[in-house]
Amino acid sequence: MKSTPFNLLVLCLLGAVLAGCSGRDQSDLDAFMEEKRTRPGGIIAPIPTFKAYEAFAYSATTLRSPFDRPIEVREIAQLQAIAAIKPDENRAKEFLEQYTFDSLRMVGTLERDGTNWTLIKDPDGGVHRVKTGNFLGRHHGKIVDMADTYVSVVEIVSDGTPDGWVERPRTIKLSGL
């Protein structure tokens, strides 16, 4: 490598800058650190205590969903006149009662040992056999009629009053029609 006068000048300037940084006088830094060490230590605040989580008890599970279409007053009066309707809370729940009615799909029918069955598909992809008298949906829906292309269900839903119930007819049609 050749030494040029320019390279020599840059090297000399760099050496001068580094020599200026090598001073051993750090008395100002030592004085600052000594001042900080002589101050009394602070008190650390204790960890705050938290209130225990209180679970919310949702009490409107038996009321009509705000996303369902409201039942007309004339239908309610007519249905209430038929009989005092109330769901059987002591009845054991069937598997398809954990799903909403709108999430269930009819995918076919079959006949086995003289019994007609309808095939219902749940949102998780499972296919289940049901017949007249079985229950499905979250509103105590009982299957009252079946055909090759539909399943008729009567649900028992709240009419919005305490201990007031009405029947609501619903239908599941065969998927793909």
Assigned domain for 99 exists: yes
Assigned domain for 143 exists: yes
* 30-59: b (≥16 Cβ within 10 Å) or e: eeeeeeeeeeeeeeeeeeeeeeeeeeeeee
| Banded pLDDT at 83 (limits 50, 70, 90) | low
Q: Tens digits of per-residue pLDDT, 165-175?
A: 888 899 999 98
Host domain of residue 98: 93-173
Q: Can you tell me the distance from the alpha carbon of 171 to that of 177, in angstroms, rounded to the nearest whole number? A: 14
Assigned domain for 10 exists: no
Q: What are phi and psi of 113, to 5 degrees?
A: 55, 40
Q: How many CB atoms lie within 10 A of CB 136?
A: 27
In the chain, the number of structural domains is 1
For 166, counting Cβ atoms within 10 Å of its Cβ (0-12 exposed, 13-18 middle, 19+ buried), the class is buried
| Banded pLDDT at 137 (limits 50, 70, 90) | very high
Assigned domain for 86 exists: no
Assigned domain for 160 exists: yes
**Residue 48, amino acid:** P
Assigned domain for 77 exists: no
Assigned domain for 157 exists: yes
Assigned domain for 80 exists: no
| Banded pLDDT at 98 (limits 50, 70, 90) | very high
Can you give the CATH number for the domain in which 152 is found? 2.30.30.830
Q: Can you tell me the distance from the alpha carbon of 162 to that of 156, in angstroms, rounded to the nearest whole number? A: 14
